[in-house]
Amino acid sequence: MRVTARGSLLLLAGLAVAASPALSRPPSADDLRGAEIRISRASAPIEVDGDLGDAGWAGAPRIETFYETNPGDNVTPRVRTVARLAYDDRFLYVGLECDDPEPRKVRAPYAERDRVNSDTDYAGIILDTRNDGRTAILFLANPRGIQYDAVTDDGNEDSSPDFFWDSSGRIGPAGWTLEIRIPFSSLRYERKDPQTWGILVYRNYPRDYRYQMFSARLPRGRNCFVCSENVLSGLEGLPPGGHLVAAPYVTGSLERTPREAPAAGSETSPADGEAGLDVKWTPFAGTAVDATVNPDFSQVESDTAQIGVNERFALFYPEKRPFFLEGVDLFSTPINAVYTRTITSPRWGLRGTGKLGATAWTLLAADDRGGGSVVLPGPDGSSFADQDFHSTAFIGRVRHDVGRSFGSFLVADREIAGGAYNRVLGPDAQWRPTEQDTVSGQLLWSRSATPDRPDLASEWNGQTLSGHALKAWWSHSTDTIDWFGMYKDLGNEFRADLGFVPQVGLREGYGEAGWTFRPEGFFRRIRTFVEGGYQEDRDGLLLEQYVNVGAGADGGANSFLRLWYQAGKVRAGDGPIPRQRLAFIVQAVPSRVFGRFSLEGDWGEQIDYVGARQGRGGQAALTDVIRPTDHLALDLTGQFRWLDVTPEDGGGRKRLFTAYVGRLKATWTFNARSFLRLIGQYVGTRYDPSLYPDPGSVPERDGAFSASALFAWKLNWQSVVYLGYGDSRNLSTEGGLPPGTRQLFLKVSYAFQR
C-alpha cells in the first residue's frame, strides 16, 4: 500500500504523458456521434404557447427517429415522438409532439423550477454548443412547461445553474406538445460562422418502467454520454455577444429574538434592509464576465437536515448561490479542492469564464467578510473552527481538451487578514484511450500559514503547513463487465480552505468489479458486484478496511433494489474494531399520486467513535413524495439512527443514543411562476450520559425545530418576489420548545437585459 512522494509524481506524470496527443491519441468525438441534423431559419414568427400550428414551424426539419435506450437497448420506442428545430436572429426554437396512447396517465404535476423528476413526463434537448462531445446544457420541461436546466460534464449533472429561456406545454387527446425558446445570449459558443453544435433530443416516459428515448443511439458500455450526440449544423449569422444583464435586489427583514435570562419575553430588532447588484456581461458569445456588489446569498429554503451524531467527518451541502454557478463544471475536479460555500459573506465578487478553441478557463476573486466555519481535517476525523476574520479569495482553472480527454491546472488562494494564507495548486488530467476506459488523476500541493488564533483552534498558532494530495483512478465498463480502481494519497499537512477535504493524512486503495445481466420479467437489469477498500494513516496504521458483496436491480414500477453485505475493520481509539453489517436501498414510483419513494439504511455491528468500542445498531432514511393533486406536493423526509453498547461494568446492551430527523415540505404550485411553500422540520437526539466516557459532557436530550412559509413569484430566475416567515426553536432542559428566533423577510429582484 505504500507509495512514496516520488511514486506519486511518477503516477500523475504517467497520466499526463498518456494523455499527450503525440503519444496516444484518444478516439475522435466525431467517430462516436449520431446522424447529422440540419436546422433552418424559421419562416415566420413562433409564439411559445405549446401550439405547434404557428407558420414559423412550416418547413422546419422534423426528427422522427428515436431510440429507446432504457430499458431497451436502442430499440424502437413504444410511443411516437416528433421533434422540430428552428432559429432566428435571437432564439433557438424546439417543438415536440409526444404521442401517448393513454393521455390521462400523463404525469405532469405543477412544481418549482428544477423539480422535474424522473417519475414525471418531460422532454427537451441536451445542447453541446462547444461541440466538444463532453459538456452540455440540459433544457427540459414537463407538459405544464415546468423547467429543468442543468449542466453536465459527462460525469456529473448539476442543476444549480439557471438560464434564461421559455417553455410552454399542452396536454391533448393524443398526448402532449411542448415548445422551447432559448436565447442565444444564454449560450456560450465559439466566434465562427457557420456554427456546428451537438444535440440530443430526449423524452422521458415513466409508466410501468421508466422509458428513455433519444434521437441518437447510446451504446451500452460506452464511457461517455454526450459524445453520442447528433451533429447540429446550419446555424449561421448568430449574435456575436454583447449581452448585458443587471439584476439589482432589495431585501428587508424583521427579527424577533428571546431576551436573555432573567428578562422574560422577546424583543424585536430594528428593521434591517440590504441592497445589491449582480451583473453579467458577455462581451463575446463564448465569454462571460460576472460581477456582484454586496450579493444576496441568503437561501430561501434551508438545507435538509442531516444526522451528525457519531459522525467523524464534516457533512457536505451543495452550492445554491447564483454568482458561483457560471461554468460550474470547471470547478469540478477529482479532489474537491473548490467548494465555494467556504466564501461565506462576500462584499464583492468578480469572475470571468470562457473558452478559446480547445482551452476553457475561469477566474474568480471575492472579498469575504468572514463568518461560518472552517473544516480542520485529520486522518480519523474533522473538526471546525470559527472563521471570524476577513479574507480575499482567488480561484482559477484552465482546462485544455484533446479529443475526449483533457489536461488541466488549478490554483486556489485564500489571503487572510493578518498575514495568514492557504495556497493550493496543481494539475489534473483525464484520458479516454478507448470507448470503455477512463483514466483520471489530480496532484495538488498546498502551503498554509495559519492564523495566530489558538483561542479558535489549537492548530491555529501561526505555524506553516505544507503537504500534497493525490487521487487517481482507472475505470473500465462494457455492457456486461465493469471494474474500477482508485488510489488516494493525502499528506498530514495538506489543507484546502477553499475546498471540501475533511480527511487528510492517509493512503487509500479501492477496487470494485461488477457483472450485469438483463433478464426478462419484472427485473430488467441485475448487477452483482464485489468491492473492497483499505485505508491507513501516514505511519501505516490501519484506519479502515472492508469488503462488500451484493447485487442491485432495476425493476417494474420504476423500482431499484440494492442489497449488500459488508465486513471490515475501523480504527477507533487505540486499535481497529471489527464491523459486519447488512445495507440496503429500496426505491420505487408506485403511481402518479405516490411518487418517488426511497428507503435506505444498514443494520448490524456499528462503531461508537466517542467510546472507541463496538456496538450494534443501524440507520434508516425515508423519503417520499405524495401528490394528491397536480398542484400539491407533500415531500416527506425521515431519518433514524440508533446505537446500543455494552456498559463497562458488564450487563446487557443499552441504548447509547437515538437520533432522528422529521421534515415535511408542502408546496402548492399555482402555475409555472408562483408557489406557496410550508416547511416544518425537527431534529432531535436522546442520549444515555452514563454510557459516555465523560457523562457531564452529554445532555439527556437535545433538539431543534424550524418552520418556514414562503410565497414566491418568478418572472424568470433573477426577476423574483419572495415573502417569507421563519421560526426556529431549540429544545429546553425542561423538554419544551420555547419561542426562539422568528423572522419576516421580503426580497425583490429584477433582471434588466440588453
Q: What would the mean pLDDT of 185-190 be, rounded to a whole number?
A: 91
- In the chain, count of helices (H) and strands (E)? 1, 43
Q: What would the mean pLDDT of 465-480 be, rounded to a whole number?
A: 96
CB distance 376 to 383 below 8 Å: yes
Residue 309 DSSP code: T
Q: Is 48 helix (H, G, I), strand (E, B) or coil?
A: coil
User: Reduced to 3 DSSP states, what percent helix, strand and coil does the chain have, rounded to the nearest 5?
Assistant: 5, 55, 40
pLDDT of residue 286 exceeding 90: no
Percent of the residues in the chain that have a pLDDT greater than 70, as a whole number: 92
pLDDT of residue 493 exceeding 70: yes
Of residues 280, 334, 353, 298, the one with CA closest to residue 474 = 334
Give ∠ CA 89-90-92 in degrees, rounded to 5. 100
pLDDT for the residue numbered 501? 92
DSSP string, 160-188: ------EEEEEEETTEEEEEEEEEGGG--
pLDDT of residue 22 exceeding 60: no
Q: What would the mean pLDDT of 285-299 be, rounded to a whole number?
A: 80
Which range (7-16, 151-160, 274-283, 630-639) has the least confidence? 7-16
pLDDT for the residue numbered 468? 97
Query: Greatest CA separation found in the chain?
Result: 86
User: At 15, which helix (H) or strand (E)?
Assistant: helix 5-19
Percent of the residues in the chain that have a pLDDT greater than 90, as a whole number: 65
Sign of CA dihedral 27, 28, 31, 37: positive
Q: Where residue 7 falls among pLDDT bands split at 50, 70, 90?
A: very low
pLDDT of residue 253 exceeding 70: yes
Give the separation between CA 631 and CA 670, rounded to whole angstroms.
6
Q: What would the mean pLDDT of 609-615 be, rounded to a whole number?
A: 91
CB distance 537 to 543 below 8 Å: yes
Of residues 550, 542, 545, the one with CA closest to residue 533 = 545
Q: What would the mean pLDDT of 453-465 be, rounded to a whole number?
A: 92
Q: What would the mean pLDDT of 20-48 be, rounded to a whole number?
A: 73
DSSP string, 597-625: EEEEEEEEEEEETTTTEEEEEEEEEEEEE
pLDDT of residue 357 exceeding 90: no
pLDDT of residue 466 exceeding 80: yes
pLDDT of residue 52 exceeding 90: yes
pLDDT for the residue numbered 255? 84
pLDDT for the residue numbered 303? 44
pLDDT of residue 28 exceeding 60: no
Region class of 558: left (phi > 0), else alpha (psi between -120 and 50), else beta: left
Give the separation between CA 538 and CA 346, rounded to whole angstroms.
37
User: At 252, which helix (H) or strand (E)?
Assistant: strand 243-258
Of residues 149, 51, 115, 139, the one with CA closest to residue 631 = 115
Give the separation between CA 105 and CA 175, rounded to whole angstroms.
10
- More confident call, 12 vs 708: 708
Exposure of 564 in the CB half-sphere (CA atoms within 13 A): 20
Residue 192, CA distances (Å) to 188, 200, 285, 357, 669 in order: 12, 22, 10, 11, 43
Give the separation between CA 564 and CA 214, rounded to whole angstroms.
33
pLDDT of residue 131 exceeding 80: yes
Of residues 294, 314, 296, 315, the one with CA closest to residue 304 = 315
Which range (236-245, 321-330, 431-440, 741-750) has the least confidence? 321-330
Give the separation between CA 282 and CA 244, rounded to whole angstroms.
7
One-letter amino acid at 231 equals V
Of residues 576, 585, 583, the one with CA closest to residue 604 = 583
pLDDT for the residue numbered 264? 62
Give the separation between CA 642 and CA 309, rounded to whole angstroms.
10
Q: Is 638 helix (H, G, I), strand (E, B) or coil?
A: strand
pLDDT for the residue numbered 399? 95
Buried b / exposed e over 557-583, threshold 16 CB at 10 Å, is bbbbbbebebbbbbbbeeebbebebeb
List of residues 6+ apart from 26 with CB closer than 8 A = 19, 402, 403, 404, 405, 431, 432, 433
pLDDT for the residue numbered 497? 92
Give the separation between CA 68 and CA 471, rounded to whole angstroms.
36
pLDDT of residue 565 exceeding 90: yes
Which backbone phi and psi does 339 adopt, to 5 degrees? -140, 95
pLDDT of residue 314 exceeding 60: no
Q: Where residue 332 falls among pLDDT bands split at 50, 70, 90?
A: confident
Q: What would the mean pLDDT of 423-434 be, rounded to a whole number?
A: 95
Of residues 503, 160, 161, the one with CA closest to residue 318 = 160
DSSP string, 501-515: --B-SEEEEEEEEEE
pLDDT of residue 311 exceeding 70: no
pLDDT for the residue numbered 716? 86
- More confident call, 140 vs 405: 140
Give the separation between CA 212 and CA 206, rounded to whole angstroms.
8
Q: Where residue 153 falls among pLDDT bands split at 50, 70, 90?
A: confident
Q: What would the mean pLDDT of 240-247 be, rounded to a whole number?
A: 90
CB distance 626 to 595 below 8 Å: yes
Q: Where residue 741 falls among pLDDT bands split at 50, 70, 90?
A: confident
Of residues 203, 192, 262, the one with CA closest to residue 233 = 192
Beta-strand (E) ranges in 307-418? Answer: 346-356, 359-368, 373-376, 383-386, 391-402, 405-416
Q: Is 267 helix (H, G, I), strand (E, B) or coil?
A: strand
pLDDT for the residue numbered 25? 45
Facing residues of 335 across strands?
none
Q: What would the mean pLDDT of 444-470 be, rounded to a whole number?
A: 94
CB distance 612 to 603 below 8 Å: no
Which range (14-23, 188-197, 270-279, 704-713) has the least confidence? 14-23
Which range (143-152, 377-386, 540-549) has the least confidence? 377-386
Q: Where residue 3 falls among pLDDT bands split at 50, 70, 90?
A: very low
Give the separation between CA 123 and CA 132, rounded to whole angstroms.
23
pLDDT for the residue numbered 33? 86
User: At 561, which helix (H) or strand (E)?
Assistant: strand 559-572
Mean of the per-residue pLDDT values of the chain: 88
Sign of CA dihedral 496, 400, 319, 272: positive
Question: What is the model's pTM?
Answer: 0.85
Sign of CA dihedral 320, 321, 322, 327: negative
